[in-house]
Amino acid sequence: MVLRQVVPKGLTQAALARIKNAKKGENLYEATEMTDLVNKSPILQIVTNTMGAFDPPTACQVGVTKISKPGDSFTALGYREKDMPYFGAQTHIDGYCTINPPQTVQQGNPDEIYMRYIASGPRGDLGKSPSVIGHNTVPLFQDPEMTLGLGSFTAFIGVCLNDQTVNGRGNFAVLKGAHHAVEAFFRKQKEAGTRMGPEGPGWPRLDYNAPNRCGLTYLPKAIHEQFLDETSEYTPDGRRWARPTPILMDEGDAILTVFNLPHAGTRNELGTESRKNIYFRIRAKKRQPRHVVNGVTDYPDRGPRGAWLEYEEGNNPWEKSKHAMCNMWEEWEGMSDVVASEQRKKDVLRSRL
């Protein structure tokens, strides 16, 4: 949902000023002017009312996207930027280990390409291991046994700081309604009893048919194909891509969504200035009450850069996260009546079929 004008202008202007006055190379992810966008705005109470208790964020993702034209570089999906539709949207689910894509067409068989790819991460060649992290710092697998290939949280928040009321200005975009398909897919994976997320049933990590032969499968085929229609655009190889919905926002607007919703940033091709959004990833406190989440990580069961955290005996964080991914509304305590009502409507419709 979009919360219109929910953040007071004094807070957005302070954040904009902090960005403008940042020193070259300075990282503002812990700047109070950014975290105040949630902690000192109505968003704090809105999320508390709908989801429940959570750690007020101490960090964020500063999403500044400069004006640019599409180039020749290979994207994470293995396609050239200039060939991707929808202003370069790479629709994905958060918590996915992303290593910089190779900029040449890869040679060899799939196993060779896979091992070469994960060895090109920031820690070098560790083999297939949960110690491998991406350039986005997300681990290849969340748990030591490598049964969970995706990090997770509860709520995604984005605060808009400037005019994005026209598509093509670096808009945040979502695959509308796909959170239901994602939840159903996770449940099927969990029922299979092997591995959830990438490299689990129906979800290969790499797409060896992509133009560079090493593209990430950000969305499983079973989910993606549900959202193809006659308006879907193509890449030059004839592949169709599901059309995401761009979110049109202005300064002070904010988005609030569940973790399961596939989304993407898009290219700022038509803007008059850099696109500026501040993003937060929030986990309901009840999942792991003893652990503090900083508000930016999309793999909170692990520490910074994949550090291993300590858990008390009998507390299996990976199984709790798998359960939450399969039951996306369970942590939204304030939504329980709404969710129950909607489920009853669905049950009635099914009974009539």
Q: How many residues does the chain have?
A: 353
Strand order across the 263-264 sheet: 245-246, 173-174, 263-264
Give the structural domain span for 210. Answer: 2-352
For residue 347, the model assigns a pLDDT of: 83
The bridge status of strand 2-3 relative to strand 240-241 is unpaired
| Eight-class DSSP state of 139 | B
Q: What is the mean pLDDT of residues 289-301?
A: 97
Beta strands in 59-171 (DSSP E): 61-65, 155-160
Q: What is the mean pLDDT of residues 280-288?
A: 98
Biggest CA-to-CA distance, the chain:
62
Q: Domain count of the chain?
A: 1
The per-residue pLDDT for range 318-336, each reduced to its tens digit, is 999 999 999 999 999 999 9
pLDDT at 18 over 90: yes
Q: Measure Cα distances from 89 to 159, 174, 225, 232 in Å.
A: 19, 9, 16, 13
Taking the C-alpha atoms of residue 328 and residue 71, their distance in angstroms, rounded to an integer, is: 37
Report if pTM > 0.85: yes
Beta strands in 93-142 (DSSP E): none
For residue 343, the model assigns a pLDDT of: 84
The per-residue pLDDT for range 232-251, each reduced to its tens digit, is 999 999 999 999 999 999 99
List CB contacts of 160: < 8 A, sequence separation 6 or more. 249, 250, 251, 252, 253, 254, 255, 276, 277
